[in-house]
């Protein structure tokens, strides 16, 4: 765990007057799954393309292990990646797509067959990609990334175009990769898609880093919401008023924003208000994510 799997340092990419990625720095811990999150157009794909040597940064650098991707003698063996679900020749079969790249990453045809079975495309292996659904293309992309059994995996929006069943499958798959001790960098514009599988999160908006921590660190930014209900609705209402909580009536009780359940309980006890229900509501990470990535008018792109 000493060396980071991927290190991004001051990475910047300008397209003419537009700065797509702006002085971005973060690391991907070895052996951890890192979610790379941001709204569409926030610079995720551009960042990944620079990490993988497809684009030249305007400034800064990205390292895979200890050196840039392109300086590895056989980079395909160090990092497996799936960037776009559309990057296949429509007239080529799924299996042939893998066989095309097999010589350069030094794997056999048997291994191609193995990974295509692994992602559940065995039955469609010899069909042309033009007949594949979006979900099947995503799976073929994953198979490509896994071809060399690499220690580090980079996936760009692997959940795009997957049906709910496919998303569940993907979650299990990512968890499996993590259990095998691989370092995974997975991008998404929807936190919920990867929330249950990531250890760390890197959040960007408008090309800049807005948050980087463990998933638990992100959860700490979430507001505490507490649902409270008592037999005397008026008494609970007075309690809310007394403490100037921001609360909204909900069902038979109240939803209190930004106050933890123990505090509400203590206040009710002190005031002698009988409660029948006192429930901490889930910390809504999606709300945190939206708040972090909101346009500058509501929340600045603070670093």
- Contacting residues toward other proteins, per CB under 8 A: 49, 52-56, 69-70, 75-76, 81, 83-84, 86-93, 96-97, 99-106, 144
SS3 of residue 108 by DSSP: coil
In terms of CB distance, is 106 or 249 closer to other proteins? Answer: 106
Distance between CA atoms of residues 159 and 169, nearest Å: 10
In terms of CB distance, is 49 or 111 closer to other proteins? Answer: 49
Nearest-approach distance from CB 89 to other proteins, in angstroms:
5
SS (H, E, C) 233-291: HHHHHHHHHHCCCEEEEECCEEEEECCCHHHHHHHHHHHCCCCCEEEEECCCHHHHHHH
Nearest-approach distance from CB 131 to other proteins, in angstroms:
14
Which long-range CB contacts under 8 A does 54-61 form with residues at least 24 apart? 55/13, 57/11, 57/12, 57/13, 57/21, 58/12, 58/13, 58/14, 59/10, 59/11, 59/12, 59/23, 60/8, 60/9, 60/10, 60/11, 60/12, 60/23, 60/24, 60/25, 61/9, 61/10, 61/11
Nearest-approach distance from CB 84 to other proteins, in angstroms:
6
Nearest-approach distance from CB 49 to other proteins, in angstroms:
7
Nearest-approach distance from CB 88 to other proteins, in angstroms:
7
In terms of CB distance, is 124 or 236 closer to other proteins? Answer: 124
Nearest-approach distance from CB 106 to other proteins, in angstroms:
7
SS3 of residue 30 by DSSP: coil
Nearest-approach distance from CB 90 to other proteins, in angstroms:
7
In terms of CB distance, is 99 or 206 closer to other proteins? Answer: 99
In terms of CB distance, is 55 or 190 closer to other proteins? Answer: 55
By CB neighbour count within 10 A (0-12 exposed, 13-18 middle, 19+ buried), where does 261 fall?
middle
In terms of CB distance, is 81 or 195 closer to other proteins? Answer: 81
Distance between CA atoms of residues 272 and 277, nearest Å: 15
In terms of CB distance, is 184 or 259 closer to other proteins? Answer: 184
């Amino acid at each position: 765990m000493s060396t980071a799997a991927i290190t991004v340092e001051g990475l910047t990419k300008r397209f003419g007057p537009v700065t797509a990625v702006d002085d971005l720095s973060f690391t991907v811990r070895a052996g951890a799954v890192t979610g790379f999150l941001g709204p569409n157009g926030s610079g995720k794909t551009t960042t990944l393309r620079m990490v993988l040597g497809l684009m030249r940064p305007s400034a800064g650098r990205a390292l895979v292990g200890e050196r840039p991707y392109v300086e590895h003698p056989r980079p395909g063996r160090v990092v497996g990646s799936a960037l776009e679900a559309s990057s296949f020749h429509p007239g080529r079969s799924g299996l042939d797509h893998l066989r095309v790249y097999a010589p350069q990453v030094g794997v056999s045809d048997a291994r191609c067959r193995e990974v295509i079975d692994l992602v559940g495309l065995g039955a469609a292996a010899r069909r042309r990609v033009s007949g594949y659904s979006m979900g099947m293309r995503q799976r073929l992309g994953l198979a490509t990334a896994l071809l060399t059994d690499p220690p580090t995996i980079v996936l760009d929006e692997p959940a795009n175009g997957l049906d709910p069943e496919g998303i569940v499958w993907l979650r299990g798959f990512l968890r499996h990769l993590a259990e095998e001790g691989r370092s995974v960098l997975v991008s998404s514009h929807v936190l919920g898609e990867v929330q249950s599988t990531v250890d760390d999160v890197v959040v960007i908006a408008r090309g800049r880093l807005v948050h980087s921590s463990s998933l638990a660190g992100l959860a700490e930014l979430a507001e505490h919401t507490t649902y409270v209900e008592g037999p005397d609705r008026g008494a609970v209402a007075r309690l809310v008023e007394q403490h100037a909580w921001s609360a909204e009536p909900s069902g038979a009780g109240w939803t209190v924003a930004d106050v933890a359940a123990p505090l509400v309980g203590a206040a009710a006890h002190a005031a002698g208000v009988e409660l029948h229900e006192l429930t901490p509501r889930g910390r809504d990470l999606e709300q945190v994510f939206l708040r972090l990535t909101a346009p500058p008018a509501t929340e600045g792109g603070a670093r």
